[in-house]
Amino acid sequence: MNIQELGATAEAMVADHKGLLAADESTGTIGKRFESIDVELTEANRAAYRGLLFAAEGLGNYISGAILYDETIRQKAPDGTMMVDLLKKQGILPGIKVDAGTKPLAGAEGETVTEGLDGLAGRVDEYVGLGAKFAKWRAVIDIKQPGIPSRYAIRVNAQALARYARICQEGGLVPIVEPEVLMDGDHDIDTCAAVTEATLVEVFHELYEQGVQLEGMILKPNMVISGKLNGSRAGVEEVAAKTIALLKRTVPSAVPGIMFLSGGQTETEASEHLNAMNGGSDNLPWTVSYSYGRALQESALKAWRGKVENIPAAQQALLQRARLNSAACEARYLAEVA
């Protein structure tokens, strides 16, 4: 592997207060989002929507990279331009989701493991040829009672994440390592903290055991946050303080950047939490940024509603959210302008 090249790409992904646009929704997931705005799930509509996002003029001022789905990295925008070329024109690095989704984990009822390692090296070679510079693999850790997550589920998912990361680095892609502890449920913030810490400790143990070069990867974790159904959810400052404290205990300084997932937060919540983390801690060993999907796209999707005449408004909505999150990377986000 070329660790210098991988490191340079990883550093570029977190440079200049920029973040990632997660546009790697599966066909099923984007179908649910289209259904919410009464847009038919067709290849043409998916291309039109992704195309308007990537062509938003000035997006590269706030977004360093975009995570694509397999369909999208091969797809053309309505004007005939390859999606990858739309991104490159704006100085945005193309990335690719390479996992095959979650499946039930044998021996652990109610828990899952992410699959997709079979044939991954060949797919990585193909995606590099299509222009990808980085990849993403998401592991899902759920909090349920009793006994979920099990140490077994955490360990199996950590092993898969590390194997994926090693294969990507050997093939020339920077791996985004994404162990997501879900915010579904009614658990409190301390439960989330305990599960997240156990998960990250196991993930970095496996990354070390499998020879992954930390300088050439990005971590995409959840924030330490109360469950969505908790009746007394922790406030912004508590989320920020507990998240940073936990990451300082678990994430080596060699990792160039931590790019948080939004994980079901509202657009405003995701920006406020990111802002508080960057404003409350000096001299962090890694850059703290964002890799958001819905928390960047929700307003744009609602503004578009499948109509050509709404494209400028949708693009402005996307640019506004990207601008606000970029400001949060500098601790300059102001809630009143959201």
Catalytic residues: 178, 220
Residue 239: name the closest of 275, 202, 200 by CA: 275
CA distance 14 to 93: 11
- Asked whether 52 and 315 are in contact (CB, 8 A), the reply is yes
- Please tell me whether residue 186 adopts helix, strand or coil conformation: coil
For 90, 125, 133, the CA distances from 130, given in Å and listed in that order, are: 17, 9, 9
Q: Would you give the distance in Å from CA 282 to the centre of its chain?
A: 24
Distance CA 191, CA 195 (A): 6
CA distance 240 to 279: 9
DSSP 80: S
| HEC readout, 147-166 | CECCHHHHHHHHHHHHHHHH
Amino acid identity of 25? E
The CA distances from residue 322 to 44, 209, 216, in Å, are 25, 37, 25
> Which segments of 210-293 does DSSP mark as H helices, in order?
236-250, 267-279
Q: Report the alpha-carbon distance of residue 19 to residue 174 in Å, rounded.
A: 15
Q: The tokens 């294969």 sit on which residue?
A: 167
* Secondary structure class of 17 (helix, strand, coil): helix
How far apart are the C-alpha atoms of 213 and 158, rounded to whole Å?
A: 16
Token pair for residue 249? Answer: 């205990």
Torsion, Cα 60 286 248 161, to 10 degrees, reads 70
